Amino acid sequence: MKAENTLSIRRTISLIGLSWGAVSLVSASHAQTTQPPLTIARQGAFTAGGTTVGTPSSSAVCDHGQVEYQIPAKARSVGLFLWHSSSVNVWKNRWDGGEGFESIFLRRGFPIYLWDGPGVGRASLPCVPMESAPEPGSDQQSFTAWRFGPSYMDWYPDVQFPRGDKRAWDQAIRARYTEYDNVENAKLQAHAAAAALDRTGPVVLVTNSAGGLRALLTALESDKVKAIVAYENVGFVLPESENDGAPPGKYGPVYVPLEAFKKLAKIPMQFVWGDHLSQPRGPQMALPANRKFVELINSYGGKAEILELAEQGLKGNTHLPFADMNNVAVADQLQSFLARHNLSDAPTKKPGTAKSKPIN
């Protein structure tokens, strides 16, 4: 059974890479005005990981990531480390410009860390040359890959997106960075993230799409990872015993010794999926691979589960449920998972405690 699962997962990852581009977000001009002000004790940014090339007299730093953080006035002990597969904007706003997960969970007392991995976004100082060029057709591909509708501008009637807001779509499709999806970069970004967690303290890694593979790799390097919640994950870490010798695709899998894989089995994991999962290509391939991964890791004592939002009564969610119009209800599902695993303690700490000391 385990060997069959692994073969299916590996083949699925390779196919997903042919059809599922990086995702992104958006913010329109419609801001929420009914929420009270946020109370932030500290905010800032720091870099983590990386190296230096050249000589002592002629050097250049590179391959580091960047963390932007906000710590609420009354902070919980475990933060949320938000890992995109496109742009940090996916966590900042709802599609119509309303509050995203960053603000929603700050209001609930969670420290928030927004992450750009090495070579991405605000951490775009790679140690090796990287090229980027526009890809005609990517807008149309993204529309269907993100499951806004079955074909370009043919919206699902119940989609959790402001369909009549042209600015929202324009912002959504523009808020992207170039993402370099391959196993080597995933490992590089995971290593830098582990260094970041040495400074943040305990966190839940909350990811989207290809960020899930990077989170699994980070958890192998850092004991600060207390759980992983992966929205529409497409990549996996598997035990070496399951390796059939085929080369990995852009999303892996990455094979590790069995004892390392068993370390992942100690971490609660939730793999979350939106609606319209019968759409060809993306979900039809990736969701079964997620199910097989959950079965495999749970056979080693894991605490992993699949959550289909539609089965919880949340309809019309896209590939980025945390940015959808019902993202507060999506956030409630995340917080319920955290509470079940004792990762949602009451926000009682105040500025002036040890938690408030500068991160960097």
Q: What percent of the chain has pLDDT over 70?
A: 86
Q: What is the mean pLDDT of residues 304-319?
A: 97
Nearest to 98, CA basis, from 168, 39, 166: 168
Q: How far is it, in rounded angstroms, from Cα 257 to Cα 269?
A: 20
- Given a cut of 90, whether residue 281 has pLDDT beyond it is no
∠ CA 327-122-221, nearest 5°, is 80
User: Which tokens go with 91?
Assistant: 């966590």
Q: Which value, in Å, is the radius of gyration of the alpha carbons in the chain?
A: 19
- Report pLDDT for 348: 58
pLDDT band at residue 178 under the 50/70/90 scheme: confident
Indicate if the pLDDT at residue 231 is higher than 80. Answer: yes
Q: Does pLDDT of 263 surpass 90?
A: yes
Supply the pTM of this predicted model: 0.89
pLDDT over 90 at 204, yes or no: yes
Range 176-184 average pLDDT: 85
User: What's the average model confidence in pLDDT over 156-164?
Assistant: 96
Q: Which domains does the chain have, with CATH numbers?
A: 2-50+62-128+156-356 (3.40.50.1820)
Q: What is the pLDDT of residues 121-154, one digit of tens each?
A: 889 899 998 888 888 999 999 999 999 999 999 9
What pLDDT shows up at residue 179? 78
Average pLDDT of the chain, as a whole number: 88
Tokens of 86: 């496109």
Tens of pLDDT, residues 24-71 = 444 344 445 578 899 999 999 999 999 999 999 999 999 999 999 999
- Could you give the CA distance from residue 230 to residue 212 in angstroms, rounded to a whole number? 6
Instruction: Between 61 and 178, name the one with better pLDDT.
Output: 61
On the question of pLDDT at 280 being above 90, the answer is no
